[in-house]
Every structure is written in structure tokens, then in C-alpha cells.
């Protein structure tokens, strides 16, 4: 879910470096203990390190919700989490070391499952969900993940998987949740011991990265107009939308729609950060950690979904997703508290004004999924969806199902202080719903 680190981090990085110093009974099998292996350890990459800064500044998680019907036993779910964590030790890590010697080290302690009281929360926003404001705190020795069981008064049960973006990315998150659900069904687990990090992949392909053509810095306008109110203290709002359609090429179509929405208000450049999953594309290893690159999708006024797909394909062929941010390794030498102190004064400028290199937002496609993947005895999952990461001006994350699509939107509260985000989402829903004449295509 989501996400993900956007070019917002690039801008603040530049500012820092410039100044540098009782459900159905389920039999959860116990896997045969493997031979004693080396303790899982993974370096902290530079962007993961900066994600720690973002988490301290606000709350930078990859959180997602599995929504369905049924009653889930906390004890049985904890057993499944324990088993899945043993097969995927990256979910049990704690932050150890300092500066460039920082490491994610297996603590041997699985994420903890909590059963919350019956809630008024409908799973569609941050409203009535104070538990979502709780921040995972790795800088204080805390875990990088936990799991909440939230029974709803609407008759639905929601399993909330919370993970720290500094240690886990969106595709790693989906792997983790699927492993827990496999464990609940008593199935074999895929497991992962990969210690790869994003910068390893980038280094492997450094000789293939095409030079970036010289160009004036883009001054991307925001999709929404920010209000003066709601800027301090910084807070993010999010909304879940379900449309009755599985839309083909939704990523470029969303980019075109959002660009047209932005230009109704003012002319200007529009661009979006799009994450690129390295797994299956640049490496065959399945890791839970951050194995994601990023490309910028520029949306000119005459853009079409086809032209944007061609642009995106060209970026991949040029290995643009493997291009490192200049000076990124310097982040390994700067304390988190120092980056936080230097970055805070730039938040208003980065989030609420037009500045070079800061995109209009981020768009994340998590691909095609099925509720069956996340169902198990006693619990019938209808969907899984993400809460977009609390970073940048606007983030959109979507998952396609055979006959519907779930889209989540997130933005700083100032972008909805007067209902701007809600108005955009209503228009998006009308445009992409099955009944809309603007979109009658259905994916295979």
C-alpha cells in the first residue's frame, strides 16, 4: 500500500545537504524448525534513513486494511503472525547501530496482534480511527509492524496491518499480509530472507542508466488548492473510494484526470512520482524491505493515456528508476535529529507552494488482486486496500479486482480544509464508474 517516497524527499534532502554538518477452529501447523541460520541483518539504505526522518516528523507508514465478514480470534491470528514472521524475519527487525553503521536486525519477536473494541469506524477514512494515529517508533527501539483486529458496528471485521515505510515497502507489505493469511489457512509459506536494499539494485544497474537530458526544473502545480487553515500542526487526511469497474490502464488515466483537474484552476507543469517495483523487473529476489525505484511521469496538456504509457516504458528501458539522487549517500552520515531540525522549516514551502523538483503528487498501482488471497476459515475477505503514505501533496493508491477497483487518496489536511479533496474524489468516482460514458472499458 502505500507507498511511497516521493520527490518531496528530494527537495528536503537538498535543503539538508546544503547546510550539511471465537471464530472457526483453525489448525495452525508448526513448521519443522530449520537448521540454525545466521541472524537476519540488513543495512539501512539512505532513503530508508530519510524515511525515519519523515516518520519522526509525522507518521510515515505503509498501512493496509483487509476488510471482510467473520470473527477472527486474536490468539489464532497471533499464531499465524508468529509463523509468518519466522519465515520472513525482516518483519521482526529492530533498528540498531548509528549513522552509516545502522542496521535492521532480527529481534526474534514477531509483530503483536491486538483486538480492539467494537468500533464506529467504517474503514473509509481517518475518522473514528484514533488507533491509526499511533506511530511505530523504531528510533526508540520499537517494532516495525503490528496487527489490529477492529470489529465494526457495521458488521464487518477489519484487519489493520501497520508497517513502517523505513523498513517495508508496498510490495513487501502485500507479501507479508498474504503470508499471514496463508498461515491462517495452514498452507506452506513462501518465506524470504533477502537482505537486498534499493541502493544495491541501483548499483548493479548503474552502467545501464541513460544520462538524464538537461532540462529546466519543472515547477509542478498542485492538483488541489491548499487552504491557509489546517496547515499547522501538519496532519494528513485520507479517503477510500470503491468504484464498480475494473478500469484498464488506470494509472495513466488517473494522471490525465488529475492533470486536467489541476489546470482548471491554473496553468502550469503537472507531474507525478510513480514507484517501480524492482522485484521481478530488476531482481528475482523477494524481499520485504524497500526494493523500489521511482520515475517521474510528466503530463503535458495534450497527454493521453497511451502517450503516458509510452513515456513510462521509455523511462524503464532507460533504467531511470535506477538513477540515484545526487548526494543521497550523505544521508547515512547525518543524524536523524539533525535532518529533522533542518527539514522542518521547509515543510510549508515543499507542501504548499510551487517549488522545483516537487511533483504534483504520487500515483501507485498495486496491480490485480483477489479477496480469496486474504480469506481463511471463519473470515471471508472482500478486499484489501492501502492508506497512502503521509508525504507530499497528494498520493493515490489503487488495487484492481475482477469487477471493482479500490482507490485511496491522501493529502495534507489543508488540501481538504474546504472540501477540496472530497470534491475531487466525487468527480473521480463519477468519471470512472461503470455508468460513466467516459469509461466503458473493462480489463480482461
User: How many whole angstroms separate alpha carbon 157 and alpha carbon 69?
Assistant: 6
Residue 436: per-residue pLDDT: 61
Asked if residue 443 is part of any domain, the answer here is: no
Asked if residue 439 is part of any domain, the answer here is: no
Residue 3: per-residue pLDDT: 33
Residue 358: per-residue pLDDT: 86
pLDDT tens digits, one per residue of 337-379: 998 888 887 777 789 989 887 899 999 999 999 999 999 999 9
User: How many whole angstroms separate alpha carbon 277 and alpha carbon 291?
Assistant: 6
CATH number of the structural domain spanning residue 141: 3.30.559.10
Strands, DSSP E only, in 38-125? 41-43, 61-70, 93-96, 103-106, 113-115
Instruction: Say which DSSP state 119 is in.
Output: B
Number of domains in the chain: 1
Find the farthest-apart pair of alpha carbons in the chain and give their distance in angstroms, rounded: 63
227, 418 in Cβ contact below 8 A?
yes
| Helix spans in 186-300 (H) | 198-204, 250-263
Asked if residue 1 is part of any domain, the answer here is: no
> Which domain covers residue 270, as residue numbers?
7-31+38-432
Asked if residue 413 is part of any domain, the answer here is: yes
User: How many whole angstroms separate alpha carbon 23 and alpha carbon 157?
Assistant: 12
Q: Extract the residue ranges of the chain whose pLDDT is less than 50.
A: 1-34, 437, 440-444
Radius of gyration of the chain (CA): 21
Asked if residue 245 is part of any domain, the answer here is: yes
Specify which residues 146 forms β-bridges with.
162
User: How many whole angstroms separate alpha carbon 385 and alpha carbon 258?
Assistant: 21
Element holding 170 (H helix, E strand): helix 170-185
Asked if residue 59 is part of any domain, the answer here is: yes
Asked if residue 442 is part of any domain, the answer here is: no
User: How many whole angstroms separate alpha carbon 424 and alpha carbon 391?
Assistant: 19
Asked if residue 440 is part of any domain, the answer here is: no
Amino acid at each position: 500500500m502505500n507507498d511511497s517516497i516521493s520527490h518531496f524527499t528530494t527537495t528536503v534532502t537538498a535543503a539538508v545537504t546544503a547546510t550539511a554538518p471465537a471464530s472457526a477452529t483453525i489448525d495452525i501447523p508448526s513448521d519443522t524448525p530449520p537448521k540454525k541460520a545466521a541472524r537476519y541483518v540488513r543495512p539501512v539504505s539512505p532513503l530508508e534513513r530519510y524515511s525515519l526522518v519523515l516518520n519522526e516528523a509525522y507518521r510515515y507508514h505503509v498501512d493496509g486494511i483487509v476488510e471482510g465478514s467473520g470473527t477472527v480470534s486474536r490468539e489464532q491470528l497471533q499464531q499465524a503472525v508468529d509463523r509468518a514472521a519466522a519465515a520472513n524475519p525482516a518483519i521482526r527487525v529492530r533498528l540498531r547501530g548509528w549513522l552509516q553503521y545502522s542496521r535492521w536486525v532480527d529481534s526474534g519477536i514477531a509483530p503483536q496482534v491486538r483486538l480492539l473494541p467494537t468500533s464506529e469506524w467504517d474503514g473509509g477514512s481517518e475518522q473514528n480511527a484514533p488507533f491509526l494515529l499511533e506511530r511505530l517508533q523504531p528510533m526508540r527501539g520499537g517494532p516495525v509492524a503490528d496487527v489490529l483486529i477492529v470489529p465494526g458496528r457495521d458488521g464487518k471485521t477489519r484487519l489493520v496491518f501497520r508497517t513502517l515505510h523505513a523498513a517495508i515497502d508496498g510490495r513487501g507489505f502485500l507479501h507479508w499480509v498474504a503470508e499471514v493469511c496463508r498461515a491462517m489457512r495452514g498452507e506452506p509459506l513462501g518465506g524470504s530472507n533477502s537482505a537486498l536494499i534499493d541502493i544495491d539494485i541501483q548499483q548493479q544497474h548503474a552502467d545501464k542508466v541513460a544520462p538524464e537530458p538537461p532540462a529546466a526544473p519543472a515547477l509542478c502545480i498542485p492538483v488541489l488548492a491548499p487552504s491557509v487553515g489546517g496547515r499547522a500542526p501538519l496532519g494528513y487526511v485520507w479517503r477510500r473510494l470503491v468504484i464498480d469497474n475494473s478500469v484498464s490502464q488506470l494509472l495513466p488515466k488517473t494522471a490525465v484526470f488529475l492533470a486536467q483537474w489541476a489546470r482548471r484552476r491554473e496553468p502550469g507543469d503537472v507531474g507525478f512520482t510513480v514507484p517501480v517495483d524492482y522485484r521481478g523487473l530488476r531482481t528475482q529476489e523477494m524481499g520485504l524491505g524497500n526494493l523500489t525505484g521511482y520515475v517521474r511521469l510528466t503530463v503535458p496538456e495534450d497527454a493521453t493515456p497511451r502517450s503516458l504509457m509510452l513515456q513510462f516504458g521509455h523511462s524503464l528501458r532507460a533504467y531511470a528508476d535506477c538513477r540515484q539522487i545526487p548526494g543521497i549517500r550523505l544521508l547515512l552520515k547525518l543524524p536523524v535529529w539533525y535532518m529533522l531540525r533542518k527539514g522542518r522549516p521547509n515543510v510549508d514551502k515543499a507542501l504548499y507552494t510551487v517549488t522545483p523538483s516537487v511533483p504534483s503528487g504520487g500515483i501507485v498501482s498495486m496491480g490485480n488482486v483477489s479477496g480469496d488471497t486474504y480469506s481463511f476459515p471463519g473470515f471471508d475477505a472482500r478486499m484489501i486496500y492501502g492508506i497512502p503514505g503521509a508525504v507530499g501533496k497528494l498520493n493515490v493508491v489503487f488495487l484492481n479486482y475482477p469487477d471493482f477497483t479500490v482507490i485511496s487518496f491522501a493529502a495534507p489536511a489543508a488540501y481538504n480544509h474546504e472540501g477540496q479533496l472530497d470534491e475531487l474524489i466525487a468527480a473521480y468516482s463519477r468519471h470512472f464508474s461503470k455508468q460513466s460514458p467516459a469509461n466503458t472499458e473493462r480489463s480482461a
